[in-house]
Amino acid sequence: MGKCELKAFILLDCSSSGSMAISYTMLLPLLLLMAAVTPGSHSFFPNFWSKFLSFTWGSYTHQDLTEEAILNITLQILLDNPHSLRPALKAQDFQGKTLTADAILAAYFGEEVSPRQFRASLRQIVSANANMDFLNGTRDDPLCHFDSERLKQGNRLLLRMRDQLLVSVKAKEYEGARDRLGQILHSLQDFYSHTNWVEMGNTDIHPDLATPGRDIHSIAGLSDQTCTDCTELSCKNNIVPAIEKRQLLTSGYYGDLPKKPQGKCSHGGPFDDSRLFSARGGINKDTAVSLFSPHHFLHQIAAELALKASIKFLNELRNEVTDRDMLRILGVSASPALSFVMDTTGSMGEEITTARLQSRHIIQHQRQTLLYPDFYILVPFNDPNYGPVYKTSDPDEFLHYLDNLQALGGGDEPEMCLSALQLALIHTPPNSEIFVFTDASSKDAHLRSSVEALIQERKIKVSFLVTEDPSRARVRSRRELLTPDRFDLYANLSEISGGQIIFTNNQDIPAVSEVISESVHFDVVTLFHKQSMERGNSVHEFQVDDFMRSICLFINGDVSTFNILDPAGQIQNGNRQSNGKFTRVSFKHPLPKGRWRIQMKTTGPHTLHIQGRSLVDFLYYFGVPVNGSHPGLYKLSNQPVSGVSAILVVDAIGLPDSAHLDHVTITPAKGVPLKLELEPANQTGLLVAQVGQVPFGDFSIGVSGQDGKGSAFLREAPQHGKSAECVVEITNEYPLMPGEMHWLSLSITSYGTSHCYIITLSNDRGYNMNTTIPRIFTDVNETHEAKFWIQAPDEAETDTTVAVTAQAEACEDKPQSCFTLIPLILVARPEVYSLHSPVCSLVSYSGSCPLSLPPRLCQQHQWHSVVHISDSDGVKSAQILSGFGSISYGPDGTLERVEYSSNCCFPRAEILLMNYRGATSSCHLSAPSNTSNLGQCTNWILLVIMYCSFLVNYLLYI
């Protein structure tokens, strides 16, 4: 294998019970923004940026392994489900070749489907994988990385996460499933890099790892010495021969939490302080470089086994779900969703009829091509009501929703449009488009900032079809005088989302709504977009390149005349269709290549939107370099932080080898455009640019390059970006159950001039919750944490998702806010509580407390107890409930070991144990008594009372 290039690894044993239907833990952003992090648990380095920071060019990263495994399972599924209208794929066509998302989808779907959604989903899974090395709650947790001999416990964690993934799929919460999949693959891959499985001579994967009903056995005990000292960077033969002879598994300790017992192996590498103590050295195989990995010479084998184990897990997951669900997790689809927000007041009868007709037309076309969206979504609204959300994967069920929609009542402006739009944004998959039908302005304009944040975070276009003339005020029945600017909010939202706002009337709405059919294709790219209030003559330019199959211009508003000129200066009329103030002009392939112009004469508000169909496109995200023990690039999932240095990553889609991207341009809403050179990132399709300071407020992103013939081409990101001066996050530890008050954690970090924030909380199902958090005061680079609760009713439907949102707004009168969203899955309460709580049993004791000991001498006498804990999930915490002393706990082979020490002033103790499912129990300990020498058992019978009382406070079911 070449430099970081894993070849196709196709496993053709792909039996599946499903068939493809034809039809956190809180992040302290300060650490990241300062590009430094305290040392934590090492692993295969996180992603492509790790190679830049550590110069480990010849090593495999978690990103390499995860992408390769996902591409393999995707190919397997498509091989097993031939396209009914295209030639079947052949496995031999891919053997020995480097797999890419673009090549697989092009071979299966042809040019009808863009790989954009697949690439975006792949990036989400890879980022969730890498975050296990970045986020505070997982970075230092030995269970997440199979460190510190937490092998049995790590396997149980894998099984719990696997259960959570299946719950997400059942609830059709595919975004959450992708995050969980990335986390699982990270831990699974770390097993082969951090344990001695490879050193034991194994050439195949562990048969019981992450397999339901099985567990890991033959683990070295606490008293077993596992390593010998090694003072070199490269540590060969430093594992004790007896460990390999007995075939006992072990793994390296990292840092000082937990503290490494003498004679145990260390993880090793420059950031692991435990390597300096017996046994010195280390055993990790994270990289092929001895500076970071003492067992670097086994990195290749560990990577190959990690890849094979990842593919095995994906194949076993495939047996649990349908192939169509599997493809949705992976983002392989024609389009994410067809999503409508519909005003249902009495004046909207024609619009509802039009939506029905357009939907039937689109669905009929999709049935002919098999290019179905993942979801069909409908959100009705009027005043004062909005919702519910109708969401289905069945096109006939969606049409049934539309057929039963009736225009009743209403008639007065304004209405609850933004409330309905916010619901649609929450439930519509990322990279989709939402179409809003209305004839009224918005009553809930206070939701604007949260709607904008959702648009930008989920990268969703929003287009408004308004059957009202905004150019004049008018009086309707029971209405006050309506202002001509009442639709400016819709215009602004459509502009930042890359959508359109089209004003029409009831007579023209059927023809105008054909814009939906034009935009529903998933290979639509934006070439130009502008909304303006200016009057007079103007000229706009747009680039048509060799990759464009067709283009379409949408001209709406007060435009008296316009001419479209090709690169040769010739007027091109195209196929024109005009309805009132809306004109649509389309051009089919072949198209003259080069810079086109449109000359316009306008007399008032107008919009020009130009789009084309092309497989060549791009995605982007901002990231922050993280140095230290986990060198890599942390992907910012929400708004980037203004004024901070960042890395802009561009993911080029569908770009042939003969073409290349050269520059990325960041254009602030107010300010000078910033043009940056793009550099290759040593990863297929990825390019990077260093951004000195992220601009404040709104900005747009565009890329430029050259095709294979030396001609220029341009692409624009549809949505505007927006930076923030704060970061807000919500974390959840346990599942949401009906009737229970469920607590969540929130954190906010401030980076700007504001030191006071008001937090507003909401959820999309109207469940009871505390909706505000009192004012939070923070200093710059300071994180503040708070708790809040939500309670689902007893009768709430389980296996459904509730989206909880948090918006932080500056107390001062400043346009500063930050936003986040977390989906929670409502799971059924178990009918019978299981009492699988930790069980303790005495192993040994030392010291004693004589019954006749005077109180003044009690501090001079010590006693010590060792207890073994039997628990399949592992001890998450051990705390002293009563008594006073010191306590420690950790693994001892397949058991857990708790050690307690105290003086005779406290001859009794109660220890509270909690496992990783939240089950608790308590162990009661009593010091042995003796009237002679301490520690001897001669004159008195020792009294050791130990019992375990099961005190189940709560039990985590996943």
> CA 759, CA 788: separation in Å to the nearest integer?
11
Q: Report the C-alpha gap between 270 and 254 in whole angstroms.
A: 11
Is 851 in the same domain as 909? Answer: yes
Judgement on whether residues 576 and 634 belong to the same structural domain of the protein: no
**Could you tell me if 770 and 857 lie in one domain?**
no
The residue from 449, 468, 503 where one domain ends is 503
Which string of DSSP letters, residue by residue, matches 479-517?
Answer: -PPPPTTTTHHHHHHHHHHT--EEE--TTTHHHHTHHHH
CA dist 142 and 84 (Å) reads: 48
| Residue 40 in domain | no
Token duo for residue 102: 């673009």
Task: For the chain, give the percent of residues with pLDDT over 70.
Answer: 87
pLDDT at 656 over 80: yes
Q: What distances in angstroms separate CA 406 from CA 94, 342, 376, one per listed residue?
A: 52, 10, 19
Same domain, 822 and 899: no
Note whether 621 and 611 are same-domain residues: no
Indicate the pLDDT class of residue 5, thresholds 50, 70 and 90. Answer: very low
Q: Does 124 map to a domain?
A: yes
The single residue listed with the structure tokens 């648990």 is: 41
Section 387-409 average pLDDT: 88
Q: What is the mean pLDDT of residues 219-248?
A: 96
Count other Cβ atoms within 10 Å, centred on residue 541: 12
CATH code for the domain in which residue 930 is found? 2.60.40
> For residue 26, is it within any domain?
no
What pLDDT does residue 519 have? 72
More confident residue, 516 or 764: 764
pLDDT for 178 equals: 96
The model's pTM is: 0.86
Q: Which of 329, 359, 386 is the last residue of a domain?
A: 329
> Do the domain assignments include residue 252?
no
Residues 540 and 645 in one domain: no
Comparing C-alpha atoms, which of 736, 738, 698, 693 is closest to residue 720? Answer: 698
Q: Which of 25-39, 860-874, 887-901, 926-940 has the lowest mean pLDDT?
A: 25-39
The residue type found at 236 is: K
* Domain span at 414: 334-503
What secondary structure does DSSP assign to 101-166, as a single string? HHHHHHHHHGGGS-SHHHHHHHHHHHHHHHHTTTSHHHHT-HHHHT-TT-HHHHHHHHHHHHHHHH
Q: How far is CA 245 from CA 218, 242, 249, 943, in A?
A: 12, 5, 11, 41
CA distance 643 to 622: 13
In a domain, 604, yes or no: yes
Q: What is the mean pLDDT of the chain?
A: 84
Residue type for position 239: I
pLDDT in tens, 735-785: 899 999 999 999 888 887 777 888 999 999 999 998 888 888 888 888 888
Q: Give yes or no for residue 6 having a pLDDT over 60.
A: no
Q: Of 550, 555, 573, whose CA–CA distance to 609 is shortest?
A: 555
CATH classification at residue 377 = 3.40.50.410
Together in a domain, 295 and 314? yes
Higher local confidence (pLDDT), 879 or 50: 879
- Least confident span in 199-213, 384-398, 544-558, 938-952: 938-952
Give me the CATH number covering residue 535: 2.60.120.380
Report the side by side order of strands in the sheet with 726-731: 726-731, 741-750, 782-791, 768-769
Per DSSP (E only), the strands in 439-574 are 461-466, 501-503, 524-532, 536-544, 550-565
- Predicted confidence band at 229 (pLDDT cuts at 50, 70, 90)? very high
Cα distance between residue 937 and residue 932, in whole Å: 8
Asked if residues 333 and 395 have their Cβ atoms less than 8 Å apart, the reply is no
Tell me the C-alpha distance between 320 and 323, whole Å: 9
- pLDDT at res. 737: 92
Mean pLDDT of 100-127: 90
Q: What are 32-71's pLDDT values in tens digits?
A: 333 333 334 456 777 777 666 666 667 899 999 999 999 9
Residue 184 located in a structural domain? yes
Looking at the structure, do residues 382 and 498 belong to the same domain, yes or no? yes
The number of domains in the chain is 6
If asked whether residues 339 and 412 sit together in one domain, one would say: yes
Give the number of other CB atoms < 10 A from CB of residue 72.
24
- For residue 914, the model assigns a pLDDT of 87
Q: What is the pLDDT of residues 347-363, one digit of tens each?
A: 888 888 888 888 888 88
pLDDT at 43: 61
Q: What is the pLDDT of residues 809-831, one digit of tens each?
A: 888 766 667 888 899 999 887 65
25 belongs to a structural domain? no
Task: Tell me the percentage of the chain whose pLDDT exceeds 90.
Answer: 48
**d(C-alpha 468, C-alpha 464), whole Å:** 11
CA–CA gap between residue 352 and residue 346 (Å, rounded): 11
Residue 562 pLDDT greater than 70, yes or no: yes
Residues 815 and 845 in one domain: no
Total length of the chain: 958
Q: CA-CA distance, 419 to 435, in Å (whole number)?
A: 14
Rounded Cα distance, 919 and 872, in Å? 11
Distance in angstroms (rounded) separating the CA atoms of residues 807 and 785: 14
pLDDT at 836: 62
pLDDT, position 628: 67
Query: How far, rounded to the nearest angstrom, does the alpha carbon of residue 58 sit from its chain's CA centroid?
Result: 28
Q: Tell me, what DSSP letter sits at residue 653?
A: E
Same domain, 814 and 673: no
In a domain, 230, yes or no: no
Q: Which of 662, 691, 722 is the last residue of a domain?
A: 722
At 113, the pLDDT band (50, 70, 90 cuts) reads: confident
- 565 and 461 fall within a common domain: no
